[in-house]
Chains A and B, each alone.
Chain A
Amino acid sequence: MIKIDALTVQFGGIKPLDALDAQFVAPICGLIGPNGAGKTTLVNVLSGFVAPITGTILLDDTLLLALSPRRRVGVGLRRTFQQELVVDELTAIENIQAVADHVSGDRASARREVALALDFVGLGERRNTLGRQLNLFERRMVEIAKTLIGRPRVILMDEPGAGLNEIETDRLRRLLIEIPSAFDCQLVLIDHDADLIASVCIETVVLDFGKRLAMGPTRAVLDDPVVRHAYLGRE
């Protein structure tokens, strides 16, 4: 569970996050908002790459802001980036092994976890393919597999569906739903597109201009007139 209190981030004159209170409790939570709402900034604060000026964050009962980015990985926080970052010169399995090198207990469990993650995302047969020869969907799958290594507690995924076609998005959706039970962890899914969120997330937080616009069960949140207005009003 993630609990965020009075979180404010300031870049020069703007506040991408402004006194944000939010909780992520359900096994799969959504975080949506229009472009520029502050979603990626929140992920960066959670993973330790952006320091807030005020606020506290609890991961279960750990005070997250006191930990270095690498310590947060140590306590089970995982993330993907909005832009996929598969290394072209490494094979699919090496890209995942590169994470296992640092977060798995020992060699045997690393090997086991890498094999499991590869199979889980459906890349078992492509394991020895170089990063540069993987298509976008496969690269996104490598990125997801990397987060499944080393007993994750919470996985933050920043727009994992960006750029995927309908069939691929559908495969992604079925994969995401499986993750919390298969890996005994919580998933926070970030997207600006409500469709994926609506079909996967149990609870959802809506951000707009760094403030919380709504929070609660996904269906109710998406049907909220204020949220509909924020979206329809700008698109």
Chain B
Amino acid sequence: MSEIGKTEAMPLVMPAGPGITPGIRAVAIVAVVGLVSAVVALTAGGYWLSNFTQAYCMALAVLGCALLYGQLGLVSLCQWALVGVGGWVSLRFYHYVHPPFFVTILAGGVGASVIGMIWGLPALRMRGLYLALVTLMLAGAFQSLVTVISFPVGGPGLLGQVGASGNDRIMMARPIFASSDTAYFLFVAAVTVLCIFLVEAHRRTKPGRAWALIRKNEQMAIAAGVRIVFYKAWAFALSGFLAGVAGALLAGLFGQLDASAFPTTNSIVIFIGTLLGGYDAWLGAFLGGILTRFIPALLIALNVNTNVGFMIFGAALLFALRDPLGLGGQLTILAERLYKKLRAQDVS
């Protein structure tokens, strides 16, 4: 057990933030994501704006991955494939039903959530290295599948096959209020904030407490009346939902998706982003997710071979493994200290 245990989440040493109420946390989430997004929206255009929009989608995927790893100690290496599932479902649903954009996003989220739950079934039996390998194989199978059937082709109707000419390829439209690139980026930012709220609301209430018991000791959790299967499935469903929403947003960004956008390696990069950012703070998922896209985008902009990105992620991983708090955790501690100092000064 101890060998396998090594790949499970390390216990955190993050001090509590006493005095950090849900209200303050909510303000911090809106402030940080709002500020970063405002700076990007005002300064970036074209290439960088598109990449930051993708980066936010990565952040949503990382948020789901961090949920599984941080709350239950489960390593999932198929998160990017679930983004693909979300993109697929939302595109097909859009072309078949032509629903409002919000419904399209929800469809992508729910679709990936169902698949995520099914893919999570092995986790009822295994964890650690074995689960990581099984999920990695699922991601690989997904990549093969979408390559073979040339997913998700942008043709009309439910199956959406395009003719050989490719002339009948149609794009998914963005919502009217977010048709420009900048407006769409801000829309994605708003969805990101909502998703962070969704995860925080889970972590601080009944499901979060149940996950904490399960992670500590499953027999103890059962003796406390926790339905283990239900709460594990719930975590996979929520994590898949976040990936699916990310997939739908990507589909909206590009209008269509290509099988080459869902390589298995991206699922691994998502997990590295989880470790880099730190899996116990929403800020970690946000920053970790942005990094996973920002670094490759920077390499492309500098005309460097993107495979160098894997070397950078590998090197960064060495640091991340030594510091379970990650970037997000460290910054959260700094911010909490600062906040407490400021409050102490206010009082005196």
Chain A residues packing against B (C-beta within 8 Å): 47, 49, 69-70, 73-74, 78-79, 81, 85, 87-91, 94, 97-99, 101-103, 128, 130, 133, 146, 150
| Residue B226 CB within 8 A of the other chain | yes
Residues from 253 to 309 in B contacting A, C-beta threshold 8 Å: none
Question: Closest residue to B219 on the A side, CB-wise?
Answer: A49
Question: Closest residue to B280 on the A side, CB-wise?
Answer: A89
Complex CA–CA separation, A146 to B227 (angstroms)? 17
| Residue B141 CB within 8 A of the other chain | no
Q: How many chain B residues have a CB neighbour from A under 8 Å?
A: 20
Expressed in whole angstroms, the minimum distance between the Cβ of A218 and any Cβ of chain B is: 27
Question: Closest residue to B217 on the A side, CB-wise?
Answer: A85
Complex CA–CA separation, A89 to B217 (angstroms)? 14
- Given contacts A85-B216, A85-B217, A130-B16, whether A69 and B210 have CB atoms under 8 Å apart is no
Q: Which residues of B contact A89 (CB under 8 A)?
A: 12, 212
Contact of B224 among A91, A128, A130, A146 (CB under 8 A): A146
Complex CA–CA separation, A98 to B11 (angstroms)? 19
Complex CA–CA separation, A76 to B225 (angstroms)? 10
Complex CA–CA separation, A101 to B212 (angstroms)? 13
> Which residue among B215, B217, B226 has the maximum number of chain A CB atoms within 10 Å of its CB?
B226
Complex CA–CA separation, A88 to B10 (angstroms)? 12
Q: Which residues of B contact A49 (CB under 8 A)?
A: 219, 222
* Pairwise interchain contact B219-A99, C-beta atoms closer than 8 A: no
Complex CA–CA separation, A163 to B217 (angstroms)? 21
* Pairwise interchain contact A102-B224, C-beta atoms closer than 8 A: yes
* Pairwise interchain contact A87-B212, C-beta atoms closer than 8 A: yes
Complex CA–CA separation, A99 to B186 (angstroms)? 41
Chain B residues packing against A (C-beta within 8 Å): 11-12, 16, 18, 206, 209-210, 212-213, 215-217, 219-220, 222-227
* Pairwise interchain contact B222-A85, C-beta atoms closer than 8 A: no
* Pairwise interchain contact B220-A85, C-beta atoms closer than 8 A: yes
* Pairwise interchain contact A81-B225, C-beta atoms closer than 8 A: no
* Pairwise interchain contact A101-B209, C-beta atoms closer than 8 A: yes
Contact of A97 among B18, B209, B222, B227 (CB under 8 A): B209
Complex CA–CA separation, A91 to B16 (angstroms)? 9
Question: Closest residue to A84 on the B side, CB-wise?
Answer: B220
Q: Which residues of A contact B210 (CB under 8 A)?
A: 98, 101-102
Complex CA–CA separation, A128 to B17 (angstroms)? 11
Expressed in whole angstroms, the minimum distance between the Cβ of B281 and any Cβ of chain A is: 12
* Pairwise interchain contact B206-A70, C-beta atoms closer than 8 A: no
- Given contacts A98-B213, A130-B16, whether A103 and B225 have CB atoms under 8 Å apart is yes
* Pairwise interchain contact B225-A74, C-beta atoms closer than 8 A: yes
* Pairwise interchain contact B11-A88, C-beta atoms closer than 8 A: yes
* Pairwise interchain contact B225-A70, C-beta atoms closer than 8 A: yes
Give 21 A-B contacts (CB < 8 Å), ordered by A residue: A47-B223, A73-B224, A74-B225, A78-B223, A81-B217, A85-B216, A85-B217, A85-B220, A87-B213, A87-B215, A88-B11, A98-B209, A98-B224, A99-B225, A101-B209, A101-B225, A102-B210, A102-B226, A102-B227, A128-B18, A130-B16
* Pairwise interchain contact A150-B12, C-beta atoms closer than 8 A: no
